[in-house]
Amino acid sequence: MTRHLIMLLITMSVLGCASTSTTMRLSSADPFEVSAQADFAYDRGDWLVAARNYERLAAIVPNDAYALTRLGNIRLKQNDFGGAVHAYEKALERDPTAARAHYNLATAHLLLARNALQSSLRNLPRNDNGAQIIHEKLKHFDVLVYEPLIEVASPNDGLIKQAD
């Protein structure tokens, strides 16, 4: 069996039953179960399901920054930079030492600044001398935010072992 099939079987057993829609039903408030569901959706790029589960996980485990950091990552991937800033700030309220949340928060702020510069450029009259300054700044932003995320490892890593 492939790794993907094994992960699917594990997830199906954790879920108990699959919904016919694109959403997953949560059968309990077990943080490991909710985290596994969120991580599975995150790894598949199913941002809606992952975000819903990370929000639920953040409510279940109120002293942990992991779910909110991952939620911020989702918001960045969706180009919701304000939402990302909010999630990372909440994560840092829970754990001020969360280095990845600090880095990703800075990246979200840089992306907000880049968007503001791009909006300014779009709205400048033609032949405005400020356009060259903005173009130069935008070049620097592209270098700064080329790789916008540093992922935070799942607490589930290593808990589920692949069959030989």
pLDDT tens digits along 25-82: 444 589 999 999 999 999 999 999 999 999 999 999 999 999 999 999 999 999 999 9
Mean pLDDT (the chain) is: 79
What's the gap between Cα 150 and its chain centre? 10
Whole-angstrom CA distances from 161 to 1, 6, 43, 46 are 14, 10, 17, 23
- In this prediction, residues 97-112 reach a mean pLDDT of 93
User: Are 114 and 141 a contacting pair, CB within 8 Å?
Assistant: yes
Among the listed residues 114, 122, 112, 106, the one whose alpha carbon sits nearest the alpha carbon of residue 142: 114
pTM value?
Answer: 0.70
Report the distance separating Cα 144 and Cα 116, nearest Å.
16
Phi-psi region of 126 (alpha: psi -120 to 50; beta: other; left: phi over 0): beta
Separation of alpha carbons 82 and 72, rounded Å: 9
Tell which CATH classification among 1.25.40.10, 3.40.50.1000, 3.30.1490.20, 1.10.150.120 matches the domain 3-16+25-144.
1.25.40.10
- The C-alpha atoms of residue 87 and residue 71 are separated, in whole angstroms, by 6
Cα–Cα nearest to 32, from 75, 66, 77 = 66
Distances (CA, A) of 141 to 12, 21, 31, 95, 150: 43, 40, 38, 28, 17
Lowest-confidence range among 5-14, 29-38, 126-135, 143-152?
A: 5-14
Higher pLDDT, 97 or 9: 97
